[in-house]
Structure 1
Amino acid sequence: MTPLQAWAIVAGGAALALLCLYFAFRLRSRERLLTMLPTVKTQGVFIGFVELQGSAQAPRPLRSYLAEAPCVHYSWEIEEHWSRTVTETYTDKDGRLQTRTRHESGWTTVAEGGEMIPFYLRDDTGVIRIDPDGAKLEPVELFSATCGRGEALYYAKGPPESITDSDHERRFVECGLPVGVELYVAGQSRERQDVVAAEIAHDPRAPLFLISTRSEKQVESGMGWSSWGFVLLALVLVAAGIFIGRREQQDIPVPDLAVGLGLFLAAWVLGWCWMAYNSLVALRQRVRSAASLIDIELKRRHDLIPAVVAAVQGYRDHEATLQKELAALRTQSEATLPGRPGPDPSALLPSLRVIAERYPDLKADASFAALRKSLTETEQRIALARSYFNSIASGYNTCLEVVPDRFLASLGGLQPQPLFAAADFERAVVAVDLQPPP
């Protein structure tokens, strides 16, 4: 091996190690994001990156191919086992032709498929639409079976033809998201196109879009362990590159193992500082966005509630006037009998018939109920926005206090965020007065 080749091995190991560190820090950044973000309720979803938990629901669910279970997503695969004996001719080290046989076997996919549809995630506050297209899905196993040609499943769900060298043994596997399964969803929310409501959908600018049957803690733990796995792989690549380079070229200045590990440690520390500081800055921006959510909901209450109150008051006044007119007309038509002195009832009865034809449904009770519902929902949205702010601000403040994040926060001038307290919430509530004026 030439000196150039030895250095190429060392450089290749270092490059692969840096690539592994990149993936490690990427996973660690996502794990920190999910840990710091509070889980929101479906009623309190805002436009931005959110995480939710709930059950999968669909008005018209799919029916999976193998398990025939109602679900919102499923994918299935059928594999067929094969085996063969191969005889080959080769030339040995003495230049003579030799023959040898070997046995080969494996599984070949003979059929596969799947479907997915948008669905709703339900929790104790409501539902939100989820469009799973483009998401990383972590489904559960719906069906798994291995059978031979003599069993009904072999041809009932599998193709009629067999592959070459088939052993006539097939493996059926299906995974999916059944209706009612508990899901953890992390993704970008946006406004729906058909109605005024939010939905979770793929966004290339979002850090991730995940729909998992695992819990939030399991997802975060998996990302953390995967991150450490990439770090360990990077360390092995650095050590292997230096070891091979020094073994092949003893007379060239290939760095020794201690120097290589020192450089690796320095790269890891710098990378971690870069990742941790950026995550703190991103979290600070999310805290500020959460604070703006409260102002948005207060503005919504300020604009919505007075208009609703005015509409209900107007309808109530109209209804009261209409009732008086109807009572007067009915009284007058019944008080003057034919042939007796008094106003002619025939002049008022046509008006009464016209009003009767246009008699509106008196829905004062429904209007007041709708107003109460609007008031309740608006106050709940404000409470959810405040709760979300306090949760994410608490996580942010905790990060600024723990070691080693607090040193990065001090260097970057990051300050703790005060929390909302009920006693300090001084913005006036919109008064609702439904009493008629004197």
Structure 2
Amino acid sequence: MLASTSLHADDFSLQLRSIPADPFSKTPGTREVRNETWPASKTAVIVCDVWDLHHCRNAVRRLEEFGPRLNAVLIEARKRGATIIHSPSDCMPAYTDHPARLRAIAAPRSADLPKDIAAWCSRIPAEEQAHYPIDQSDGGEDDDPAEHAQWAARLKSLGRNPGMPWQRQSDMIAIDPERDFLSDKGDEVWNILQSRGIDHVILTGVHTNMCVLGRPFGLRQMARNGKHVVLMRDMTDCMYNPQRWPYVDHFTGCDLIIAHVERFVCPTVTSDQILGGQPFRSKSDKRTEADVIHLSEAKTDGDHWRPISLPAERKFSGPAWYRATIRVPQRWLTGSGLAVVLPAAGVKVWWNGASLEAESKGEIVRYQIPAEALTVDDANLLVLRVEGGHLAEAPVLQSGDRQFNLSGRWQFRQGDDSSWSNMPLPAKFGTPTDIVFEPQR
């Protein structure tokens, strides 16, 4: 094992908040809180994607507000003897020679690396029947359009890519070169945890509904691989635009995501349980009611994507749109390529935004997926536009002699808008857990 140094080893007295899960109920139950004591020497705090810049101006503002307190949490946790792992994804080139980066690389390779620990995780079994609480398929940006354009121009003037402007972790978060670790790789993070005998993990950072949940070192991977993991719910944010379903303010949208985490993934804690005082609350959060679990009057009809099961029994007057996410395993790729097969014509098909050409063979219509449009071992967005509205049979994914029937939950929308054929961000960020298909590997 790596040597574990501890200045003032101390336990963490935590109040873990959760919601007993009944995945078949649309309405969550009552929250429960249990007290646990975590040895600091067996606890890690993972700081997820607290980047120096972001494409959403409001996201930067919210991070700047809670960032100093997050740094204070890390200082206190470090002082007690916890392991601090900084994970600003896509930014490792900035830390090539940093001692914390070298320390992460040097961690002994674990003999029990979990399957797919290096991959993004879109869903764990507990979420399979869950109803995801928000629509984040527009990327979740809640900037004023004019200000967003100004912000993008400023990022470009700084030599940054306005869509992915991050280059390193924010300077608000100090990295101790003598003790901390730097990694955005799931296998490296797992090696660190195992080599130090760490059973308990606290996740902080941004954004809960995307990176904090899905990254290879995120909540889902930690939960499904047996770590006692919690989300520090006041030291995080989410990407949610109030102009999207369920049409609530940003902070209520965050509450709904936190309730989803507490119900299906892991418990949550707050920063005061380490620092004392009160939990952090944004000065922009003017609500009289916080910690919302569910909406008693959520909008279910109208102009937004909503759940539907395929094959569809109900008939619609078209046009109608359907979408789902598919994780395609590497072993599915053969010389014949990958195709979407439908039993009838009159359907337009897009794969990750690329329009697919129809090849009719009798009553069967085959849509070949170009290799350049395919994301292997990751989420792919499949969108169908049905002129007549009704889709009586589900599509089939075909590769050589392998077939996977895509019957199950999709999202559905009536109307006609060409922008619905794709999303602003990759499918793994934009789609919810309840429309994910995963062919067996």
Q: TM-score, normalised by structure 1?
A: 0.17
Q: Which has the larger radius of gyration?
A: 1
Structure (1 or 2) with the greater helix fraction: 1
Q: TM-score, normalised by structure 2?
A: 0.17
